[in-house]
């Protein structure tokens, strides 16, 4: 495999720590005018200067997935931009789609909406990139690092010099119209798994009803290991009910407010079959002597609730909606501009709504589910029928 090697003293450190920063993070927004000298590339230009021969469909690209795979050879895809990070609900990623499906490009930079407008054509030279997945959702990015804490099959590309070797901005076009999808289609794509036709597409689902249930995974101290093998540093808000949350997500201030109110006091520390007790208990109460307990340092004597307040950060929330008998999660970042916006009373009351966004796949130990990422403010993307 041919690879262009860029020697930078910080590159190894940058790539090695990327997997630790995959969770929702603040989005830096820089409103920049479009560069005066920017000229969109054409396929003729790419054929003459970059070796483009044929375009592979996104569907056929996904079919190359092999748990994961570093792509080799003259493989190109193209698609139209369907996402924007302007509202902060998408982090360092760009979704594109063609007539066969969509995919997530892990570019690793902020304010992408300044460079890639909705509907714009983008060409991707895939040689040297890694095709992987996160909880079942197809992603195209850089090779994942080999650290023991990494559970991701791809890393952010990150460096602009490398992005420029692989991603080329083409002509601007009309924004893509969302595809209306049915419950039958969603079920079929869930059954198809990774190669499902709907994943990564801009869609609208009509007639969804709020289920009055949320899911959230909280890390008491996010600076400590908190992957699935670290149940001592995980707290789930799930199983049933909304845990008092009636906003699309929760900012840092809202997170602290919920904790201080006591409404989350019965939430359990633990993961999977390992449960320690409610967050009102402490690591020193729940954990045996040794390395794991020692990792909490002087915080070991604090309650988990106190630790969570001490290291508070914004958190995502997934709200469950139903379409017939099928659940659809709407997942929102705590850094989104609309994180603390309250769900409309009509939505909370179960009135049918039409929701537009990017549909993704989420695979967990309890099964597979369809998941929405809103690309616009809920006042625009969630329409009450």
pLDDT score for 344: 97
Provide the b/e sequence for 59-87 (b: ≥16 CB within 10 Å). bebbeebeebebbeeebbbbbbbbbbbbb
Query: Which residues are within 8 A (CB) of 205 and not within 5 positions of it... i.e. 6 or more apart?
Result: 180, 181, 186, 323, 328, 354, 355, 359, 372
Confidence of residue 78 (pLDDT cuts 50, 70, 90): very high
20, pLDDT greater than 90 = no
Report the percent of the chain where pLDDT is more than 90. 78
Mean pLDDT across the chain = 89
pLDDT score for 3: 40
Cα gap 384→373, rounded to integer Å: 18
Q: What are the extents of the domains in the chain? A: 11-169, 177-385
Confidence of residue 8 (pLDDT cuts 50, 70, 90): very low
Q: In this structure, are residues 283 and 296 in contact, taking their beta carbons and an 8 Å threshold?
A: yes
pLDDT score for 64: 94
Q: In this structure, are residues 298 and 310 in contact, taking their beta carbons and an 8 Å threshold?
A: no
pLDDT score for 152: 78
Enter the tokens of residue 147: 């650290």
31, pLDDT greater than 90 = no
**Stretch 330-353: mean pLDDT:** 96
Q: Which fold has domain 11-169?
A: OB fold (Dihydrolipoamide Acetyltransferase, E2P) (2.40.50)
Enter the tokens of residue 336: 């989104």
pLDDT score for 35: 45
Which pLDDT tens digit goes with each residue over 232-243? 999 999 888 999
Q: In this structure, are residues 291 and 202 in contact, taking their beta carbons and an 8 Å threshold?
A: no
Which of 185, 217, 184 shows the shortest CA–CA distance to 331? 217
Report the percent of the chain where pLDDT is more than 70. 88
Cα gap 370→356, rounded to integer Å: 13
204, pLDDT greater than 80 = yes
**Stretch 73-80: mean pLDDT:** 97
Q: What is the DSSP letter of 267?
A: P
Cα gap 181→43, rounded to integer Å: 32
Cα gap 342→249, rounded to integer Å: 9
DSSP string, 170-214: ----PPPPPEE--HHHHHHHHHHGGG-TTTTEEEEEEEEEEEEEE
Enter the tokens of residue 58: 């996104």
Point out the least confidently predicted range of 22-36, 38-52, 155-169, 261-275.
22-36
Confidence of residue 228 (pLDDT cuts 50, 70, 90): confident
pLDDT score for 362: 87
**Stretch 8-15: mean pLDDT:** 40
pLDDT score for 28: 52
Tell me how far CA of residue 199 lies from CA of 196, 300, 306, in angstroms: 6, 42, 39
37, pLDDT greater than 90 = no
76, pLDDT greater than 70 = yes
Query: Which residues are within 8 A (CB) of 338 and not within 5 positions of it... i.e. 6 or more apart?
Result: 87, 89, 248, 249, 332, 377, 378
């Amino acid at each position: 495999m041919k690879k262009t090697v860029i020697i930078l003293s910080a590159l190894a450190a940058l790539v090695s720590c990327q997997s630790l920063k995959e969770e929702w993070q603040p989005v830096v927004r820089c409103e920049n005018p479009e560069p005066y000298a920017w000229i969109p590339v054409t396929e003729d230009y790419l054929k003459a200067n970059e070796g483009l021969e044929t375009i592979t469909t996104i569907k056929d690209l996904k079919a190359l997935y092999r748990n994961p795979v570093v792509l080799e050879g003259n493989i190109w895809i193209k698609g139209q931009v369907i996402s924007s990070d302007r509202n902060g609900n998408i982090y360092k990623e760009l979704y594109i789609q063609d007539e066969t499906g969509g995919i997530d490009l892990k570019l690793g930079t902020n304010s992408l909406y300044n460079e890639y407008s909705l509907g714009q054509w983008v060409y991707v030279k895939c040689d040297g990139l890694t095709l992987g997945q996160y909880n079942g959702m197809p992603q195209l990015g850089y090779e994942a690092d080999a650290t023991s804490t990494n559970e991701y099959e791809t890393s952010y590309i990150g460096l602009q010099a490398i992005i420029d070797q692989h991603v080329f901005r083409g002509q601007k076009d009309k924004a893509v119209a969302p595809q209306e999808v049915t419950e039958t289609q969603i079920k079929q794509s869930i059954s198809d798994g990774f190669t499902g036709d709907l994943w990564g597409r801009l869609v609208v689902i009509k007639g969804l009803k709020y289920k009055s249930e949320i899911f959230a995974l909280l890390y008491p101290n996010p600076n400590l290991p908190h992957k699935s093998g670290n149940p001592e540093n995980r707290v789930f808000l799930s199983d049933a009910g909304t845990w008092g949350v009636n906003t699309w997500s929760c900012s840092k201030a809202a997170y602290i407010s919920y904790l201080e109110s006591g409404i989350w006091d019965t939430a359990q520390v633990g993961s999977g079959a390992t449960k320690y007790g409610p967050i009102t208990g402490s690591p020193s109460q729940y954990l045996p002597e040794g390395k794991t307990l020692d990792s909490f340092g002087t915080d070991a004597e604090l309650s988990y609730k106190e630790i969570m307040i001490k290291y508070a950060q914004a958190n995502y929330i997934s709200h469950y909606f139903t379409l017939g008998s099928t659940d659809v999660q709407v997942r929102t970042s705590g850094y989104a501009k609309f994180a603390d916006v309250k769900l409309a009373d009509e939505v909370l009351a179960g009135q049918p709504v039409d929701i537009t966004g990017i549909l993704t796949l989420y695979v967990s130990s309890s099964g597979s589910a369809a998941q929405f990422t809103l690309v616009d403010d809920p006042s625009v993307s969630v329409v009450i029928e």
